[in-house]
Amino acid sequence: MDDPRSHLPSVSLLLEEPDIQDLIRIHSRQLVMDAINEALGWYREHLKSGDAAPVQRDITAKIEFFLRGIERDSVRPVVNATGIILHTGLGRAVLPENAAKALGSLDRCCNLQIDLETGERGKRNAMIEKLLCKLTGAEAALIVNNNAAATYLILAALCREKEVIISRGQMIEIGGSYRLPDCILESGAILREVGTTNKTHLRDYEEALGENTGAILRCNPSNFRIIGFTSEVPIADLASLKKKQSVLVIDDLGCGALVNLECYGLPREPMIQESLAAGADLVCSSGDKLIGGPQAGIILGRKDLIQILKKHPLTRMLRVCKLTAIALEQTLRLFLEPESLFQKNPSLRMISMPPLKLRTRAQKIRRTILREKLPFQAEIREEESATGGGSLPHAVLKTFVIALSSPTLSAERLSSLFRQNEPPIITRIKNDQVLLDPRTIFEDEEKYIVQALKKIAGRSHDLQS
Ligand X SMILES: *Cc1c(COP(=O)(O)O)cnc(C)c1O
Min CB(250)–ligand X separation in Å? 12
Helix boundaries (H) for 241-312: 272-277, 303-311
Q: Which is nearer to ligand X, 31 or 226 (CB)?
A: 226
| Residue 224 C-beta: closest distance to ligand X, Å | 10
Nearer to ligand X, 136 or 145 (CB): 145
With respect to ligand X, which residue has the nearer C-beta, 167 or 406? Answer: 167
In the complex, minimum distance from the CB of residue 86 to ligand X, in angstroms, rounded to a whole number: 10
Q: How far is the CB of 270 from ligand X (least distance, A)?
A: 11
Q: Which residues bind ligand X (CB under 6 A)?
A: 146-148, 172, 174, 178, 219-220, 222, 252, 254-255, 286, 297, 390
Residue 121 burial (10 A CB sphere; 0-12, 13-18, 19+): exposed
**In the complex with ligand X, which residue's Cβ is closer, 219 or 283?**
219
With respect to ligand X, which residue has the nearer C-beta, 146 or 347? 146
Q: Would you say 167 and 199 are in contact if contact means Cβ atoms under 8 Å apart?
A: no
Residue from 389, 284, 293 nearest 332 by CA: 293
Beta-strand ranges (E) seen in 27-139 are: 79-80
Looking only at the bridges linking them, the beta strands covering 377-385 and 397-405 are antiparallel
Chain residue at closest Cβ approach to ligand X: 254
Report d(CA 391, CA 288) in Å as an integer: 11
Please give the Cα distance from 300 to 285 (Å, whole number): 9
- Shortest distance, position 175 Cβ to ligand X, whole Å: 8
Is the CB of 94 or the CB of 148 nearer to ligand X? 148
* Beta strands in 188-233, from DSSP E residues, in sequence order: 190-194, 213-219
CA 458, 463, 464 angle in degrees (round to 5)?
Answer: 100
Phi, psi (5° rounding) for residue 256?
Answer: 60, 70
Nearest approach, Cβ of residue 182 and ligand X (Å):
12
How many angstroms separate the CA atoms of 88 and 107, rounded?
Answer: 27
The nearest distance, CB 138 to ligand X, in angstroms, is: 18
- Please, which residue, 46 or 394, has the CB nearer to ligand X? 394
